[in-house]
């Protein structure tokens, strides 16, 4: 009996159109993994500071999420294998980096367990710089970014460069997850979690006799945190604009997702910062249409500059309403201007020109 031949060209088109159903399930498993990361982060800061064991409930959430992702990626690859694909071509179109991420995360997880058994549990910010944890960060970011990568390599099949929100939604959520992963490992520089400009922080310094040593240094650190946080939020947007004319709602999602996840680390004590992110995103979505930024050129730089302005004006306004801004106008005004200038530079360096 003559064996049935597989139409490779049809398979290629089929893989290129692996769409919403696959991506949404990937997002679900990525959410499981990312939730485990942030629950573990919260636990290290609030629950288990003296717990010397790798086997904790929050690690169970984290590593079960990874296992779910690994099984899911394996099942997708095996399905293509049964269709006749072999080797790397069996990996779903656009999901190759995610498969690599699974491997890196597995190595990082095994290394982390060995590290904890031999050297003990990391204390404080040591956890953010542990080599095994950095492997987890890299692998996890590649995993959650898979729907974004798939949309990037198959954009012509799903709305071209000007997709509707539902066509781009998995990619947007995926980018928001990757941004959240980055923010997690930069939590010590996440401005929304620290009150450097607040009167409360300055009173804390005064009460400990540190005003002469830390007075200006605290402001310098605070401004540095603002610039790092600004980069974490703006660079993914700049990267997005290199490929798509984002639909309405994109900026709101990309502002809200990392804000919500980072608030988990504080037990949502700073929930009001989430509101600031949502407001900034909503206004940015409105301005994108009002300024016709999709035409490119100077409008892109103007829009990103306005977005940074919104983010940091709202940041200082919320601090003023919650406590009081202790910084002099030269500091908080200069911080806003520096953030805006950085956003414009990011855009210029990337040669961002969204296509219509």
Q: Is the pLDDT of residue 3 over 50?
A: no
Q: Return the number of other C-beta atoms located less than 10 Å from residue 210's C-beta.
A: 13
- Which residue would you say has higher pLDDT here, 15 or 40? 40
Distance separating alpha carbons of residues 191 and 204, to the nearest angstrom: 18
Place of tokens 């949404």: 24
Mean of pLDDT over the chain: 85
In this prediction, residue 194 carries a pLDDT of 84
Q: How many C-beta neighbours within 10 Å does residue 212 have?
A: 9
- Higher confidence at residue 222 or residue 51? 222
155's tokens: 């954009």
Residues 6+ apart with CB under 8 A from 2: none
pLDDT in the model for residue 54: 61
- Segment 262-277, tens digit of pLDDT: 999 988 888 889 999 9
- Mean pLDDT throughout 310-323? 95
User: Does residue 216 surpass a pLDDT of 90?
Assistant: no
Higher pLDDT, 180 or 154: 180
Strand partners, 169: none
Residue 355 has pLDDT above 50, yes or no: no
Q: What are phi and psi of 28, to 5 degrees?
A: -60, -45
Residue 188: pLDDT over 80? yes
Report CA-CA distances (Å) from 37 to 130, 173, 183, 223.
Answer: 15, 17, 12, 27
Cα→Cα distances 135→83, 103, 267, Å: 33, 10, 26
**pLDDT for 150 beyond 60:** yes
Mean pLDDT across 198-209 = 81
Question: Which phi and psi angles does 118 have, rounded to 5°?
Answer: -85, -45
Question: 20-46 and 57-82 helices cross at what angle (nearest 10)?
Answer: 160
- The confidence score (pLDDT) of residue 153 equals 85
Nearest to 176 by CA among 27, 300, 67, 286: 27
| pLDDT band at residue 11 under the 50/70/90 scheme | very low
3-state secondary structure of 256: helix
Residue (of 152, 139, 27, 174) closest to 94 by Cα position: 152
Give me the residue spans of the domains in the chain.
1-155, 186-356
239-251 residues labelled b (16+ CB within 10 A) or e (exposed): bbbebbbbbebbb
Other CB atoms closer than 10 Å to residue 256's CB: what's the count? 18
> 339 to each of 35, 73, 106, 187, 336, how far by Cα in Å?
29, 39, 37, 18, 5
pLDDT over threshold 70, residue 7? no
User: Six-digit token pair at 262?
Assistant: 């980072």
Please report the pLDDT score of residue 4 as a whole number: 44
pLDDT at 330 exceeding the cut of 70: yes
Q: Which of 56-65, 257-266, 276-285 has the lowest mean pLDDT?
A: 56-65
Residue 11 in tokens: 């398979």
Check residue 158 and give its pLDDT. Answer: 60
Q: Which candidate, 161, 149, 332, 305, places its Cα nearest to that of 234? A: 305
Question: Using one digit for the tens of pLDDT, what is the confidence trace for 59-115?
Answer: 889 889 999 999 999 998 888 888 777 777 788 888 999 999 999 999 998 998 888
pLDDT band at residue 16 using 50, 70 and 90 as cut-offs: very low
Question: Residue 297 and residue 303: Cα distance in Å, rounded?
Answer: 11
Between 142 and 21, name the one with better pLDDT.
142
Give, in degrees to the nearest 5, the angle at Cα 291 between 231 and 248.
70
Q: Which of 276, 263, 259 is nearest to 313 (CA)?
A: 276
> What whole-number percentage of the chain has pLDDT above 70?
87
More confident residue, 31 or 201: 31
- Give pLDDT, residue 260: 97
Collapsed DSSP state (helix, strand, coil) of residue 325: strand
């Amino acid at each position: 009996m003559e064996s049935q031949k597989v139409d490779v060209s049809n398979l290629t088109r089929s893989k290129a159109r692996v769409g919403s159903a696959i991506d949404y399930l990937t997002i679900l498993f990525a959410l499981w993994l990312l939730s485990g990361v942030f629950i573990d982060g919260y636990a290290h800061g609030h629950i288990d500071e003296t717990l010397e064991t790798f086997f904790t409930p929050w690690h169970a959430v984290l590593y079960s999420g990874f296992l779910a992702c690994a099984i899911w990626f394996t099942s997708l690859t095996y399905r293509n294998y049964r269709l006749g694909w072999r080797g790397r071509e069996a990996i779903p179109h656009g999901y190759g980096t995610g498969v690599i991420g699974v491997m890196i995360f597995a190595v990082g997880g095994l290394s982390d367990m060995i590290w904890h058994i031999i050297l003990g549990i990391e204390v404080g910010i040591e956890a953010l710089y542990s080599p095994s944890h950095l492997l987890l960060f890299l692998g996890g970011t590649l995993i959650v970014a898979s729907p974004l990568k798939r949309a990037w390599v198959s954009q012509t099949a799903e709305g071209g460069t000007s997709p509707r929100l539902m066509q781009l939604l998995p990619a947007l959520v995926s980018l928001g997850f990757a941004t959240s992963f980055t923010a997690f490992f930069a939590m010590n520089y996440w401005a929304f979690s620290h009150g450097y400009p607040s009167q409360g922080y300055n009173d804390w310094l005064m009460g400990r006799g540190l005003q002469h040593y830390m007075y200006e240094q605290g402001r310098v650190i605070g401004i540095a945190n603002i610039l790092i946080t600004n980069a974490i939020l703006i660079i993914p947007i700049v990267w997005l604009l290199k490929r798509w004319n984002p639909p309405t709602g994109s900026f709101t999602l990309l502002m809200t997702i990392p804000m919500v996840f980072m608030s988990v680390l504080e037990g949502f004590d700073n929930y009001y910062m989430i509101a600031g992110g949502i407001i900034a995103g909503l206004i940015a979505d409105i301005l994108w249409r009002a300024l016709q930024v999709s035409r490119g050129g100077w409008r892109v730089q103007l829009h990103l500059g306005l977005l940074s302005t919104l983010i940091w004006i709202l940041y200082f306004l919320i601090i003023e309403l919650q406590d009081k801004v202790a910084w002099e106008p030269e500091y908080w005004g200069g911080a806003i201007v520096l953030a805006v200038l950085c956003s414009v530079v990011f855009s210029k360096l990337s040669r961002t020109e969204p296509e219509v």
